[in-house]
Every structure is written in structure tokens, then in C-alpha cells.
Amino acid sequence: MTRVKRGKTSLKRRRKILKYTKGYRWGAKSKERQAKERLLHAWTHAFRDRKKKKRNFRRLWNVKINAAAHKEGISYSKFMSALKKKNIELDRKILAELAEKNPDAFKKIVEEVSSAQK
């Protein structure tokens, strides 16, 4: 019977784990057990924070729109409600960008919306 050298798959798995932990500090980049543990946490945080990122951006857009709307003399909630009534389908991301970078265009939107409110 010929000799069988084992460990090819497990070595490949270990090397893959250590490849993912490249750049980690201390033993987490070189010790398999620590690396595995660090990756478990890292991937959990990454998954969670991809969801959190969406929430954070929506909050930021709301704040920007609110600030710009208050400058024009209308509250955020009344502004968003009037947008829906007027069937102006601009999402919060675009509205926030307009409010920040193009206040004249935002002002025109507010005027359009406030005429419908009266």
C-alpha cells in the first residue's frame, strides 16, 4: 500500500483563515485559534454594521432636510407630508443633497410644496 500524506485540506483551511486576518494585531494574524475567534467577531460586526449604515444615513438625511426646511419656514414633518400630497417623488437622499449643495433648487421645491399646503 502506498503512503498517504494527510492534512492538505486542513492546511488549506488554516491558510485561508490566516489570509483573512492579514493586518490584524498581535497573535490574531498568526495564531489559528485567535484568528478564528477574531474573524467570528469581525464578520458579525460587519454584517450588523452594513444594516446600521443604512439607518445612520437616513438619519443624517433627515437632519439635513429638517435644517434646510426650517430655514425656509416649514417643519420637516409638514414638508414631507406636503411632498407626498403633491406626488413629488424625491427620496431623502436627493432632498438632502439638494438642501446642502443646491439651496436654490431646494427653495423652489419648498415653494412648490407650500403652495399646495395653503
Residue 117 has pLDDT above 70, yes or no: no
Residue 114 has pLDDT above 90, yes or no: no
| pLDDT interval class at 6 (50, 70, 90) | confident
Mean pLDDT of the chain: 93
| pLDDT interval class at 14 (50, 70, 90) | very high
Q: Residue 31 is part of a domain; what is its CATH number?
A: 1.10.1900.20
Q: What's the number of domains the chain is made of? A: 1
- Domain with 62, as residue range(s), is 11-117
The three grid cell numbers given for residue 30, joined into one nine-digit string? 498568526
Helices and strands (H and E) in the chain: how many: 5, 0
95: Cα separation from own chain's centroid: 17
1 within some domain: no
4 within some domain: no
Chain segment 33-83, per-residue pLDDT in tens: 999 999 999 999 999 999 999 999 999 999 999 999 999 999 999 999 999
The three grid cell numbers given for residue 69, joined into one nine-digit string? 426646511
d(CA 76, CA 94): 15
